[in-house]
């Protein structure tokens, strides 16, 4: 369950992968894995680079928790893909993660600026 370990070579802060996925899905409705990875990268102006494979274990855990549901559909290029969609529980979780993130960032900021 230690997400930090999985992401130790990534530039996204530890523990924020859920937040990023949840937020991305909240913004754009339904997406498949590749789209989620792309979306995170583009919106962050290529700053946040996720090791793309790590999305998949994370998505599994979110499926278990019931934050997202998945169903199979077809892509624009007419290929089968699994689309993920936020559930009500997922929206609630997004709010939780957001406030947690802000609290941590706020704290870090205060520490840095206190110098």
- Rounded CA separation 4/41 (Å): 19
**Nearest distance in Å: CB 5, another protein:** 11
- Rounded CA separation 18/6 (Å): 13
**Nearest distance in Å: CB 51, another protein:** 4
Answer yes or no whether residue 52 interacts with another protein by CB under 8 A.
Answer: yes
* C-beta closer to another protein: residue 79 or 110: 79
**Nearest distance in Å: CB 12, another protein:** 14
Three-state SS string over 57-108 comes to HHHHHHHHHCCEEEEEEECCCCCEEEEEEECHHHHHHHHHHHHHHHHHHHHH
Choosing from 66, 74, 99, 107, the residue that interacts with another protein (CB under 8 A) is 66
How many CB atoms are closer than 10 A to CB 100?
13
Which residues in 5-24 contact another protein (CB under 8 A)? 6
Sheet of 80-86, strand order? 31-32, 80-86, 68-74
Which residues in 75-114 contact another protein (CB under 8 A)? 75, 79-82, 89
Residues that bind another protein (CB under 8 A): 6, 32-34, 37, 49, 51-54, 56-57, 59-61, 63-66, 72, 75, 79-82, 89
């Amino acid at each position: 369950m230690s997400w930090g370990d999985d992401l130790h070579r990534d530039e996204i802060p530890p523990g924020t992968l859920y937040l990023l996925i949840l937020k991305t899905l909240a913004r754009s409705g339904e997406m498949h894995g590749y789209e989620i990875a792309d979306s995170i990268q583009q919106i962050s102006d290529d700053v946040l680079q996720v090791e793309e494979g790590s999305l998949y274990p994370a998505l599994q855990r979110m499926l278990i928790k019931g934050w997202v549901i998945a169903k199979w559909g077809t892509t624009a290029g007419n290929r089968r893909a699994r689309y993920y969609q936020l559930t009500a529980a997922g929206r609630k979780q997004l709010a939780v993660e957001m406030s947690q993130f802000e609290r941590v960032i706020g704290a870090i900021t205060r520490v840095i600026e206190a110098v």
